[in-house]
Each structure stands twice: as structure tokens, then as C-alpha cells.
Amino acid sequence: MVCTRISQIDQITLRQQVTPARVLGRVTGTMHVLVEGVGPVGAIAGALIADAFGIRMALWVSVFGSLAGLASLVLSPLRTLRAAASL
């Protein structure tokens, strides 16, 4: 729980530093929709996968999806970012 909050603070801070002030509200609103609005879609997709292929398959799809997200972060330039000015 603590790590999640720290991660959110880092994300918001970086977003505010690299986004022009005139579009910051739009970017923030878009991020809220993407982060919070995808949950119900994922729940429905997980339920459909579990219904069609079983709960184990749904869990494996979830595991591989999470690992793909982690891999995209590890391979991104954000991993070596030390200051927002270097973007």
C-alpha cells in the first residue's frame, strides 16, 4: 500500500513537470479515465476468459499481462531518468 502511494506521487510529479500547463487538466483527466476506467473492462474480460477457458487460464493471462506491463517499464527510458529536464 505504501509503495503504491509513493509510485502514484512519482507518476503525478513527473506528469506535472513534463506537461505544459495549458493542457495539464486534460492530461490529468485522461489519466484518471485510463487508470480507473479500465478496471471494469478488465473485470469483464477476466470473467469472460474464466468462463470460456477456466479460472486458471484467466489467472495466467493476468500474470502475463502484469509481467508485460513491468517489462515495458523496465525497458523504457524512465528507468534511467534522473531529472525531468533530461526528457
Packing angle between helix 24-53 and helix 55-74, nearest 10 degrees? 150
Give the chain's radius of gyration (CA, Å): 16
Banded pLDDT at 86 (limits 50, 70, 90)? low
| Residue 29: inside a domain | yes
32-74 pLDDT, tens digit each:
898 888 889 999 999 999 999 999 999 999 999 999 988 988 8
Cβ neighbors of 26 (< 8 A, separation 6 or more) are none
Banded pLDDT at 23 (limits 50, 70, 90)? very high
For the chain, the domain total comes to 1
Give residue 50's domain range.
Answer: 2-80
4-19 pLDDT, tens digit each:
788 788 888 888 888 9
| Residue 34: inside a domain | yes
- pTM of the entire predicted model: 0.66
| Residue 85: inside a domain | no
Q: Is the pLDDT of residue 78 over 80?
A: no
